[in-house]
Structure 1
Amino acid sequence: MPEYSFETIKVTFPSPFVAHVELNRPKKLNAINGAMWADIRSVFDTLRDDPDVRAIVLSGSGRGFTSGLDLFSLELPTVEGDPSRTAFKIRPYVKSLQDSLSAIERCDKAVVAAIHGPCIGGGIDITTACDIRYASKDAFFSVKEVDIGLAADVGTLQRLPKVVGNNSWVRELCLTGRNFDAKEALEYGFISKLFPEPANVLEEALATAKFIAEKSPVAAIGTKHLLNYSRDHTVQEGLDYTAAWNMVMLTTPDLPEAAAANMQKKKATFAKL
């Protein structure tokens, strides 16, 4: 198994084939600093290639999911007296931050976000890159970037409209920066389940991850990949791509293994990838 040792992230393995990833700067409300940007990319790239992991839960340690960007750690690259060359340095810097959070979406394994307390700014960027979102009643959210003088630039403006499908609500949140609570998040489809306490949301997220991890990894990874592809393409393009994908994947031994297990009413056992 790869080494999972990170400065700002804790990784545990609570059940077979399930990883629990925790944002781990509790004294700073898991504010996202330079080290955390790098750790998020590293941990999800590593989990993507780990054959002992089939599903992931992502949560925050301490009092909340994350308070968003750690403004005290923000160090924009500059070239004194030269705005154009400064811009050419800022662009790859922003692209690097975007890539850190896109690592969650790129990860082949399903990612379940377990959200409690504040989920602010970068927390929306992170959770919109996840596959499934649960929250506890104490959770609250904000697309906060407009209040600190910038347009959100690492995923929220691109992913949130596709997650919830209500453009008016998305624009209201992004243009006002107002808070919205877990009940409103459920109403508009940002989260799919709401729980009374943080412990409940984590327990349910781990149970969902365990359930997914019991499926064929060929089927589960293919399902996530095809959902992501189809989201960004036309229906016909998605169908054509799926036909090409399944030309190979339908030959997997996982298919007869799953069919036999269903007929015999027992759990199937699938080989690691």
Structure 2
Amino acid sequence: MLSTAVRVQLANGLQKDFARILQAGLTKRNCSSQTMDFKTLKVTRPRDFVVQVELNRPEKRNAMNTDFWREMRECFSQLAEDTDCRAVVLSGAGKIFTSGLDLTDNKDVKFEEFMSPDKDFARKAFQIRQAVIRLQESFNVIERCPKPVIAAVHSACVGGGIDMICACDIRYCSSDAWFSIKEVDIGLAADLGTLQRFPKVIGNDSLARELAYTARKMYADEAKDVGFVSRVFPDREKLIEGAIELASVIASKSPVAVQGTKVSLVYSRDHTVGEGLDQVMTWNQGMLQSEDVMKAVFGSMKKETPVFSKL
């Protein structure tokens, strides 16, 4: 039995989850009717209810600059509320997926100012803290988005790229892909999610530490063997096709069921089994009353593909 304090904490957490999902589902705002124009991201809709978000600075190896961090927050916040989006593919344009942090164009990361001896130590620390919080939010928003996000990685995925794809639900890659937790080579500990999510994703603490301590490259075959990616494709073209096809399959399912499943999986990762069971029980108290349940049951009985309403 869970204590009263734990149940209260669980209830408070569920209220926040319900509020976020209900806002995404019930809002009349339809982001698909709005133009999603960004400097560093290209947003397209290759299939019904499928959105592709492409890192779009190929001339800069898709390095993550000031505009990128802000636009990631804006893009995925909009997709969370977009009733015409049920699954997302996150890919990269050009020769590589991403080279990580752009050290030449990052107003949030002011290294010269942070190192200045003229500024009070505590005040510099608070300034750095706020900058890191903003950067962390740029990837946390992927995990909080109730729509499943599929990362499609080709060639290099370095530094911040690992932080980013660890926040995704599913990872595919091409056979030429490689991954490097690069932060240790520039004198810092990865602070945007890799050290928190990567060990849980692969389930191998020893390997996670080896990669984080050395920054060595992990190639596609090893990434597949340890469970970091679930499929490897021969080239980028086949990779994108496969990711979009998977997204289309997910998008054909009940959005109530899929989004509820994502919320429950994320919650259960960071809680006990008992707390996770209580969470999904409380969730389904409301969601089992959805029309989607009957549509799915009758569709199965009649051997017909059900069509689910927008949230």
Which TM-score band (shorter chain)?
A: over 0.9
The equivalent of 1:179 in structure 2 is 217
User: Once the 2 structures are TM-superposed, how far is the Cα of residue 3 of structure 1 from its aligned partner?
Assistant: 2.1
1:164 counterpart (196, 199, 202): 202
- 2:86 is matched with 54
CA contact (8 A) 1:105 1:130 kept: yes
1:239 is matched with which residue?
Answer: 277
C-alpha distance after superposition, 1:152-181 (max 9, x if no partner) = 000000000110000000000000011110
Are 1:26 and 2:64 an aligned pair? no
Match of 1:73 in 2: 105
TM-score for both structures, normalised by structure 1: 0.98
* Identity across the alignment (%): 53
Q: Give runs of ≥4 in structure 1 deviating > 4 Å.
A: none
CA contact (8 A) 1:2 1:50 kept: no
Number of aligned positions between the proteins:
273
**Residue aligned with 2:104, SS:** helix
Contact 1:2 1:46 in 2 (8 A): no
1:111 to 145, 149, 152: 149
For the residue of structure 1 that corresponds to 2:284, the secondary structure is: helix
1:39 aligns with 2:71: yes
Q: CA deviation at 1:64?
A: 1.2
Residue 189 of structure 1 corresponds to 227
Cα shift at 1:30:
0.2
Secondary structure (helix, strand or coil) at the match of 1:260 reads helix
Task: Please say which of residues 10-19 and 77-86 is displaced more in the overlay.
Answer: 77-86
The correspondence for 1:266, drawn from 282, 299, 304, is 304
State how far apart, in whole Å, the 2-side matches of 1:121 and 1:214 are. Answer: 34
Q: Structure 2 regions of 5+ residues with no counterpart?
A: 1-32
What is the DSSP-based 3-state SS (H/G/I as helix, E as strand, rest coil) of the residue aligned with 2:82?
Answer: coil
Structure 1 residue 266, shift from structure 2 partner: 1.3
Q: 1:81: Cα distance to partner? A: 2.8
Give the structure-2-normalised TM-score.
0.86
Following TM superposition, by how much is the alpha carbon of 1:185 offset from its aligned partner in structure 2, in angstroms? 0.4
Q: Secondary structure at the match of 1:266?
A: coil
Q: Secondary structure at the match of 1:72?
A: coil
- Partner amino acid, structure 2, of 1:236: G
Return the alpha-carbon distance in structure 2 between the equivalents of residues 250 and 234 of structure 1. 23
- Give the letter aligned to residue 231 of structure 1: R
- Corresponding residue of 2:164: 126
Amino acid at match of 1:105: E
Cα distance in 2 between the residues matched to 1:263 and 1:29 = 50
2:91 and 2:290 map into 1 onto residues whose CA distance is 33
Equivalent position to 1:208, from 231, 236, 246? 246
Alignment-derived partner of residue 63 in structure 1: 95
- Give the letter for the 2:206 counterpart: S
